[in-house]
């Protein structure tokens, strides 16, 4: 496998406070990489930095092209779909409109129609709610909508910030099953930030541990499972 | 009874102009969160451009369409050149720039076309219709505005660009995350607002005569309409503008002390009353302030 995304020396700051101090990592083409770390370690900030949502510096290379100087919309237009924490759906707009917005940069009408139907087969409840304002959906339904909205871009790379947050275990399973299907049946690559480390590691081919803005470990999921200290801190057993 | 009906109808006719100005103001407010005080002067300037085109012998409807197009482009340029650098600047900076724009357009119009009043033709004429309830120009104002509103409605509800503009106004950060160029959507909003103002200016000019301060009162009524309907609701702005037009006309006729001198006072009182008792307006959402 070759790297789709390669990040070197990434720093990011809010105002005066530097939150990331030189983060290096890669996401393999078609692979699933997971980013673990305690609260406040800088996981969300890392994803935001990739999309230019915070001030950042360092080298970010996507598909061979440097993207560290692009605007958020520029990065998205290269096929990076970010499902942010807090979901980022358009609360006043309908489910259908949210899905259309996910594909707003695309021109292939037919493909868009097919992708809407595909999202509805992944998340049938969205079809029932298609005319409803997104803000009136339950938290779980909104998370499904956020994932569906991201899929509508036909992304190369998905950035998923705690996709299981606030969801019932059943729904979490369902969403992760969909990630697995996507990763096995399409060429999409994923970078997942997750508190539910056990679940995320099942899907991942590579994991990074982030501590106060630094990568402190990089390895395969099994390396974490087999290391007693790491297992205790991140998997809790 | 007939008088009442007539007053309501002609109030609606001027109300369409207030509705246009209210809509223009709301469109920019939605995009950048500030009230454009220069909206009236921009519309006046557009009307002068139309007047100039007519004076050069351009046929009325060609001049009408050309003026709308030029105003649209000018609106986009104003945003790109003047307001983009101000993005995120405090309200006071915006107010200062709005006032500067107002002065520039006002004096510019006066400098180019001088301050004497000019008559502006109506493509509809002044014959009375509906048993002398309305004259042809008033009916034309209503029809033109309706056509424009329907087109705008279709644009925003049926086209992907319209959807992108709504998304950018509702939630800029999420809009960027789906790849919408939010800055350009804001510029388009300015273009549309400017074009709507141009329509309003060209439709009202045959009634109140063209001069650099023509839209001053009109914009105040437009603000009143926008505040009444709710600054967050384009539909509310239109309804608010129409209501203000009718109320203004009825008060002028039926409340003897009001006469024509106190009409503006009514608009201002309306703004203040709405802001005190129902700040979100009739149709608006109360918005939590973003921090
Ligand atoms: N908007 C902001 N302004 C200032 N500081 C911020 C902001 N957002 C995050 N931070 C700080 O940056 C650090 C990293 O935050 P970040 O949200 O990236 O953590 P995280 O790893 O995603 O944590 P969590 O697991 O709780 O989501 C924290 O110390 C936080 O206080
Ligand atoms: Mg986070």
Give the predicted TM-score (pTM) of the model: 0.91
ipTM metric: 0.93
How high is the pLDDT of residue B276? 84
pLDDT at residue B131 above 80? no
Query: Measuring from atom 28 of ligand 1, which residue has the nearest CA?
Result: A40
Interface test with A, best of B177, B183, B234, B284 (most A CBs within 10 A): B177
What is residue B259's predicted lDDT score, i.e. its pLDDT?
Answer: 66
Q: How many CA atoms lie within 13 A of B171 on its CB side?
A: 19
For chain A, the distance separating the N- and C-terminal CA atoms, rounded to the nearest angstrom, is 32
Cα angle for residues B248, B253, B258 (degrees, 5° grid): 70
**In A, which residues are within 8 Å of B163 by CB distance?**
93, 97, 100-101, 104
Within 8 A by CB and 6+ apart from A42, the residues are A12, A19, A20, A23, A210, A212, A213
Are A93 and B181 inside 8 Å of each other by CB?
Answer: no
In a domain, A52, yes or no: no
Asked whether the predicted pLDDT for residue A174 surpasses 70, the reply is yes
Residue B288 — pLDDT band, cuts 50, 70, 90?
Answer: very low
Q: Which two three-digit tokens encode residue A59?
A: 């080298």
Q: What is the pLDDT of residues A178-191, one digit of tens each?
A: 999 999 998 999 99
According to the model, what pLDDT value does residue A95 have?
97
Q: Is A41 in the pocket of ligand 1 (CB under 6 A)?
A: yes
Chain B residues with beta carbon closer than 8 angstroms to that of A90: 167, 170-171, 174
Higher pLDDT, B202 or B4: B202
**Contact between residue B28 and residue B39 where contact means Cβ atoms under 8 Å apart:** yes
- What is the per-residue pLDDT for B52? 97
CA of B276 to the centre of ligand 2 (A): 40
Q: Domain range spanning residue A128?
A: 90-154
Query: Is A14's C-beta closer than 6 angstroms to any atom of ligand 1?
Result: yes
Residue of the nearest CA to atom 9 in ligand 1?
Answer: A45
Which segments of B178-233 does DSSP mark as H helices, in order?
182-208, 215-229
Nearest to B176 among A73, A93, A153 (CB): A73
Residue A11: inside a domain: no
Secondary element (H or E) of residue A194: none
Q: Domain-by-domain residue ranges, chain B? A: 2-277
In short, whether A213's Cβ falls inside 6 Å of ligand 1 is: no
> Do residues A67 and A60 make contact, with C-beta atoms less than 8 angstroms apart?
yes
Q: Which of A21, A23, A38, A42 to mutate to test the pocket of ligand 1 (most atoms within 8 A of CB)?
A: A42
Residue with tokens 């990630």: A179
What is the pLDDT, as a whole number, of residue B290?
39
**Whose C-alpha lies nearest to ligand 1, atom 13?**
A40
Band of the pLDDT at B202, cuts 50, 70, 90? Answer: very high
**Total tally of structural domains belonging to chain A:** 1
Q: What is the pLDDT of residues B155-175, one digit of tens each?
A: 999 999 999 999 999 999 999
Cα distance between residue B191 and residue B209, in whole Å: 25
* Angstrom distances, CA of residue B232 to CA of A211, B25, B222: 43, 10, 14
Is B291's pLDDT higher than 50? no
Indicate the pLDDT class of residue A104, thresholds 50, 70 and 90: very high
Class of the B2-277 domain?
mainly alpha
CA distance A82 to A74: 13
Query: Which ranges constitute the DSSP H helices of B89-135?
Result: 91-113
Neighboring chain A residues of B170 at a CB cutoff of 8 Å: 90-93
Residue B289: pLDDT band (50, 70, 90) is very low
A140 close to ligand 1 (CB < 6 Angstrom)? no
pLDDT at B277 over 50: yes
Average pLDDT, rounded, for chain A: 93
Per-residue pLDDT tens for B243-258?
A: 999 988 888 777 777 6
pLDDT 10s digits, A73-84:
999 999 999 999
The mean pLDDT of B126-152, rounded to a whole number, is 89
For the residues of B63-99, what is the DSSP string, one character each? HHHHHHHHHHHHHHHHIIIIIGGGTT--HHHHHHHHH
HSE (side-chain half, CA atoms, 13 Å) at A87: 23
- Contact call for B174 and A90, based on CB within 8 A: yes
pLDDT of residue B148: 95
Instruction: Give the whole-number percent of chain A exceeding pLDDT 90.
Output: 81
Please give the mean pLDDT across all residues of chain B.
91
What is the SS3 assignment for B285? coil
Whether residue B65 has pLDDT greater than 70: yes
| Segment A24-63, tens digit of pLDDT | 999 999 999 999 999 999 999 999 999 999 999 999 999 9
């Amino acid at each position: 496998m070759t790297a789709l995304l390669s990040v070197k020396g990434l720093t990011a700051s809010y105002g005066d406070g530097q939150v990331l101090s030189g983060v290096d990592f890669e996401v393999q083409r078609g692979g699933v990489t997971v980013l673990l770390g305690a609260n406040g370690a800088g996981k969300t900030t890392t994803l935001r930095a990739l999309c230019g949502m915070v001030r950042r510096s360092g080298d970010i290379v996507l598909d061979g092209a440097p993207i560290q100087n692009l605007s958020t919309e520029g990065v998205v237009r290269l096929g990076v779909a970010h499902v942010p924490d807090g979901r980022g759906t358009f609360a006043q707009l309908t489910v259908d409109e949210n899905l259309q917005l996910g594909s707003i940069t695309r021109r292939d009408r037919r493909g868009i129609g097919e992708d809407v139907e595909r999202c509805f087969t992944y998340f049938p409840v969205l079809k029932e709610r298609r005319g409803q304002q997104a803000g009136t959906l339950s938290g779980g339904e909104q998370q499904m909508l956020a994932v569906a909205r991201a899929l509508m871009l036909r992304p190369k790379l998905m950035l998923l910030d705690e996709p299981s947050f606030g969801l019932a275990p059943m729904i979490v399973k369902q969403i992760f099953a969909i990630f697995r299907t996507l990763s096995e049946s399409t060429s999409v690559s994923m970078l997942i930030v997750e508190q539910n480390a056990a679940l995320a590691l099942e899907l991942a081919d590579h994991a990074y541990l982030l501590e106060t803005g630094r990568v402190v470990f990089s390895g395969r999921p099994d390396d974490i499972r087999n290391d007693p200290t790491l297992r205790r801190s991140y998997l809790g057993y | 009874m007939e008088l009442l009906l007539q007053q309501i109808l002609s109030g609606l006719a001027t109300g369409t102009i207030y509705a246009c100005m209210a809509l223009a103001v709301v469109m920019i407010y939605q995009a950048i969160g500030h009230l454009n005080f220069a909206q009236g002067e921009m519309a006046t300037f557009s009307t002068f451009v139309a007047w100039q085109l007519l004076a050069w012998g351009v046929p009325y409807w060609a001049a009408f369409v050309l003026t709308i197009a030029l105003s649209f482009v000018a609106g986009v340029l104003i945003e790109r050149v003047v307001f983009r650098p101000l993005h995120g600047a405090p309200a006071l900076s915006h107010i200062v720039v709005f006032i500067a724009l107002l002065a520039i357009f006002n004096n510019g119009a006066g400098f180019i076309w001088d301050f004497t009043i000019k008559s502006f033709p109506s493509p509809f004429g002044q014959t009375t219709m509906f048993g002398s309830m309305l004259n042809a120009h008033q009916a034309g104002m209503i029809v033109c505005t309706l056509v424009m509103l329907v087109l705008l409605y279709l644009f925003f509800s049926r086209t992907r660009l319209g959807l992108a503009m709504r998304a950018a106004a509702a939630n800029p950060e999420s809009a960027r995350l789906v790849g919408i160029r939010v800055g350009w959507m804001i510029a388009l909003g300015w273009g549309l607002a400017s074009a709507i103002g141009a329509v309003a200016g060209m439709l009202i000019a045959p009634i109140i005569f063209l001069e650099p301060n023509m839209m001053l009162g009109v914009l105040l009524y437009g603000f009143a309409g926008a505040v009444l309907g709710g600054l967050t609701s384009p539909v509310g702005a239109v309804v608010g503008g129409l209501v203000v037009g009718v109320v203004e006309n009825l008060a002028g006729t039926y409340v003897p002390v009001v006469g024509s001198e106190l009409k503006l006072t009514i608009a201002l009182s309306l703004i203040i009353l709405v802001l005190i008792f129902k700040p979100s307006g009739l149709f608006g959402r109360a918005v939590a302030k973003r921090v």
